[in-house]
């Protein structure tokens, strides 16, 4: 597992400024991962660097490897559990699709009723209903691509 050091720690180990470390990164001499300098690239570019606590780094690496292995073993559900979860999700999805279809039908029926009401209205009311219907359908199109 790759070790990383923050820029300040890397600069202290090498005995140079943070600014110089940042220049080395920008020049491509040092590799970074999520803003931290990789130890391997630091050791390659500055071979004189001695990590003052290699045993500590090795201990951290062992802990990280054990944790990754434990997480992988703990997080793998059985095929039966996965199948049950998939069936539940499929049922929820089908129910959601049914509800969406119901709401779409309700929206279209509301539009038709508003258009029918529009026929019996004066000019100002017709404009208001027309604007509302237009807004309603624009919102529908936005949410349904």
Q: Give the CATH number of the domain where residue 30 resides.
A: 1.10.10
- Report the distance separating Cα 60 and Cα 141, nearest Å: 54
Count of structural domains within the chain: 2
What's the pTM value of the predicted model, to 2 decimals? 0.43
pLDDT in tens, the chain (145 residues): 577 888 888 888 788 888 998 998 888 888 888 888 888 888 888 888 776 555 555 665 666 677 666 655 566 777 888 888 999 999 999 999 999 999 999 999 999 999 999 999 999 999 999 999 999 999 989 888 6
Together in a domain, 69 and 55: yes
- Report the distance separating Cα 75 and Cα 73, nearest Å: 6
DSSP tag of 48: T
- Report the distance separating Cα 77 and Cα 79, nearest Å: 7
Residue 33 CA: distances (Å) to CA of 29, 56, 72 = 14, 20, 23
Per 3-state DSSP, the chain is made up of helix, strand and coil in percentages (nearest 5) of: 75, 5, 20
Together in a domain, 85 and 23: no
| Residue 40: domain span | 4-74
- Report the distance separating Cα 63 and Cα 65, nearest Å: 6
Domain boundary among 74, 92, 126: 74
Helix (H) or strand (E) holding 118: helix 79-119
Q: How many residues does the chain have?
A: 145
Q: Which residues contact 117 (CB under 8 A, 6 or more apart)?
A: 129
Together in a domain, 69 and 83: no
pLDDT at 70: 61
Domain boundary among 74, 90, 118: 74
Domain boundary among 74, 96, 116: 74
Sheet hosting strand 32-33, strand order edge to edge:
4-5, 36-38, 32-33
DSSP tag of 30: S
């Amino acid at each position: 597992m790759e070790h990383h050091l923050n820029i300040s720690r890397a600069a202290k180990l090498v005995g140079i400024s943070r600014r110089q470390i940042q220049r080395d990164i920008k020049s491509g001499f040092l590799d970074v991962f999520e803003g931290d300098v990789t130890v391997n690239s630091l050791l390659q570019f500055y071979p004189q660097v001695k990590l003052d606590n290699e045993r500590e780094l090795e201990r951290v690496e062992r802990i990280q490897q054990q944790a990754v292995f434990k997480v992988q073993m703990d997080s793998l559900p059985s095929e039966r559990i996965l199948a049950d979860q998939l069936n539940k999700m499929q049922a929820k999805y089908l129910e959601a699709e049914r509800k969406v279809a119901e709401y779409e039908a309700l929206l279209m029926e509301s539009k038709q009723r508003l258009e029918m009401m529009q026929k019996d209205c004066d000019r100002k009311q017709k404009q208001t209903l027309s604007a509302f219907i237009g807004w309603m359908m624009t919102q529908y199109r936005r949410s349904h691509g």
